[in-house]
Amino acid sequence: MQFRLLKLTAACALALPAFAHAQTHDDALDLDEVVVTATRTAISADEALAPVQVIDRDAIVRSQARSLPELLRGRAGISISNQGGPGKLTTLFMRGSESDHVLVLVDGVRMGSSTSGLVSFQNLPLALIDRVEIVRGPRSSLYGADAIGGVIQIFTRRDRDGINPRASVTVGSHDHREASAGLGGGNGQAWFGIDAAYQRTDGIDACDVATPTPFSGGCFIAEPEPDRDGYRNRSLSLRGGIEAGDTLALDLHALRAEGETRFDGDFTNGSETVQQVIGGSSTWTPSDRIRLQLAAGRNVDASDNFKNQAFLGYFDTDRDSATLQGDFGLARDQLLTLGLDWLRDRVDSSTTYAETERSNRAAFAQYQGMFAMQSLQFALRVDDNDQFGDATTGSAAWGIELTDAWRVSAGYGTAFKAPTFNELYFPFFGNPALRPEESRTWEAGLAWRGERASWRLDGFDTEVDDLIAYDASLFLPNNIERARLRGAELGLDAELAQWAIAASVSVLDTENLIGFNAGNELPRRARQSARIDLDRAFDTLRVGLTGVAEGSRFDDVANTRRLAGYATLDLRAEYVLAPAWTLQARLANVFDRDYETSSFYNQPGREWFLTLRYAPAD
């Protein structure tokens, strides 16, 4: 594997979405049906052997969600924990895996902090997002570390035809104010886009100080701070591309989001953050059977921390990545993908780390084939990491069309999670001897699709070895735990009496298998969850609702603090004032439900929002 050559070419190329738009079939796919995250190639959502959910731009606008976590909460396989409202620390658990066991990509570029291993979902603005692809289940055989629970890929706005201006303004509860504007367009040879967004809210009091505990209600505070904890976000997205002839295409994109949030805490009570992605790719398609793509990207995750506006310290991490991928059509419906990946993590911090840089090199291969009514997929990947050495992962999946409506699928996959810089090198806490966490997953699915309805039922059984936890005998983190994750997910899309219905139900059983907490459930994962979205259009008026329900969960590994289950209902409406103008209204948490997704941290009660959108018809 010519990793030195890859490093050299990556240094010369601007950043990339790490996927190739290669097709499994000779025939072109309708762009509205294409997903790329499940296989790193373009296939239709119906053909994906893995459970896939796509949230497109129309669905994002209809939902009237104000943040990415709000858009994702309650969806199949996903549990979200938030510490006090908009802009506060938000963690996502998929299929019961840890919050750092989900790989997140923005236009193909790997996101996340190298120190904590977390992704700042709360700082990625919806106004700049075109679509979200969610793939549940292990994907390390294609993407490497972090994809134990699944992969979420976020695509920024794209415009191809004509000139498309857009703008919106929003006001709402807690002095919420929001504005966005953008312009995009193109022709058959080139395209461009620019979008900017601003969001600000005075927020709520993040910490519930009324609960009597040794820390005055938790939240790591000894003295209550009964104030409103506000949040501000400013963001910008730039994109452009050109097709140089019939065989060569170039693509560039950049996103930057700057956040400022206040919270309650004895040591820090404020932070300023930067989430930045820069990427680009060069794609060469010499024939309808061959597609080669060279791409590279950089993700910046930075934060400055404050106590009462006094600067305390900073954590800046950079992730440079590059991919060389080739997709080769062996025959009709037979596709071979070969690729090389390179990743480098770097840390710059006011905290002194024993090591501040590491690299990962990888080679992967995938085969996709269709034989009459059967589909096959095999993938294998080898990662070579400076810190933990080699890791080999693989996956296999099979599906069969029993009839035009019924489909059965089954699969097996292994995955791993590399230790973070904090776990490895944080002063007086890190353990450089840590091994990657590893998983094995079996899954099976049954799907049915008709003219006006479709549903899919998936079951899975995952075992995770070498989970990293605090080892009291070493006074350090260590590979001492093992967990089992079992569950099922049901997704439904239908049209009934002119109502559009999208619903999902998830059941989850987690268990810590060894150690002091053996037999306990993993924290912050609801055992049951459900979501339903209903929408109907009446000429110029559209109405809808979103209901989310989650069962109880524990908030600690010892299972001593239980969080009660809850259900919320949101109502929404939109009215077309003129061909280019739409007025939207939303009432969130209609019944003013009081609930927590993390102990001691408040969630907003009943809220209202009013939005005016401008988007000329094509």
**pLDDT per position as a tens digit, 440-475:** 999 999 999 999 999 999 999 999 999 888 777 788
- Over residues 519-576, the pLDDT tens digits come to 999 999 999 999 999 999 999 999 999 999 999 999 988 899 999 999 999 999 999 9
The Cα-based distances of 584 to 57, 507, 572 in angstroms read 16, 34, 7
Q: Is-contact 293 282, C-beta < 8 A?
A: yes
Give dist(CA 340, CA 18) in Å, integer: 11
pLDDT at 27: 40
Give dist(CA 215, CA 267) in Å, integer: 13
pLDDT at 110: 95
The residue type found at 331 is A
Please enumerate in sequence order all residues whose Cβ is within 8 A of that of 362, keeping only pairs 6 or more positions apart, or say none.
Answer: 144, 340, 341, 342, 343, 381, 382, 383, 384
Three-state DSSP at 425 gives helix
- What is the pLDDT averaged over residues 491-505? 95
| 244's tokens | 């140089």
pLDDT at 8 over 50: no
The residue type found at 209 is V
Residue 312 parent element (H or E): strand 310-331
Query: Which is nearest to 336 in space by CA: 41, 16, 54?
Result: 41
Q: Is-contact 395 411, C-beta < 8 A?
A: yes
| 133's tokens | 């692809």
Phi-psi region of 530 (alpha: psi -120 to 50; beta: other; left: phi over 0): beta
- Over residues 447-456, the pLDDT tens digits come to 999 999 999 9
pLDDT at 33: 67
The Cα-based distances of 24 to 290, 369, 482, 576 in angstroms read 11, 8, 38, 40
Beta bridge partner(s), residue 375: 370, 399
pLDDT at 226 over 90: no
Give dist(CA 543, CA 526) in Å, integer: 29
The Cα-based distances of 86 to 105, 130, 179, 262, 599 in angstroms read 22, 21, 16, 10, 17
pLDDT at 64: 97
Phi, psi of 152 (to 5 degrees): -120, 125
Burial classification of residue 428, based on how many CB atoms lie within 10 Å of its CB (0-12 exposed, 13-18 middle, 19 or more buried)? exposed
Q: Is-contact 427 353, C-beta < 8 A?
A: yes
pLDDT at 161: 81
Three-state DSSP at 424 gives helix
The alpha carbon of residue 201 and the mean position of all alpha carbons in its chain are separated, in whole angstroms, by 24
| 341's tokens | 């990946």
pLDDT at 28: 38
Query: Which is nearest to 19 in space by CA: 100, 110, 102?
Result: 110
Task: Kindly give the pairing relationship between strand 102-106 and strand 150-156.
Answer: parallel
Residue 507 parent element (H or E): strand 499-512
Burial classification of residue 222, based on how many CB atoms lie within 10 Å of its CB (0-12 exposed, 13-18 middle, 19 or more buried)? exposed
Question: Which DSSP symbol is given to 71?
Answer: H
Domains of the chain: 3-614 (2.40.170.20)
The secondary structure of 98-159 as a DSSP string is -TTSEEEEETTEE-S-TTT----GGGS-GGGEEEEEEEES--HHHH-TT-SSEEEEEEE---
Beta bridge partner(s), residue 199: 178, 233
- Over residues 132-147, the pLDDT tens digits come to 999 999 999 999 999 9
- Over residues 406-419, the pLDDT tens digits come to 999 999 999 999 99
The residue type found at 115 is T
pLDDT at 281 over 70: yes
Beta bridge partner(s), residue 390: 384
| 234's tokens | 């400013």
- What is the pLDDT averaged over residues 190-202? 96
Q: How confident is the model at residue 188 (pLDDT cuts 50, 70, 90)?
A: confident
Question: Which DSSP symbol is given to 23?
Answer: B
Give dist(CA 533, CA 207) in Å, integer: 30
- Over residues 352-361, the pLDDT tens digits come to 999 999 999 9
Give dist(CA 323, CA 109) in Å, integer: 10
Give dist(CA 249, CA 293) in Å, integer: 9
> How many Cβ atoms from other residues are within 10 Å of residue 409's Cβ?
21
Please enumerate in sequence order all residues whose Cβ is within 8 A of that of 403, keeping only pairs 6 or more positions apart, or say none.
Answer: none
| 568's tokens | 């919320």
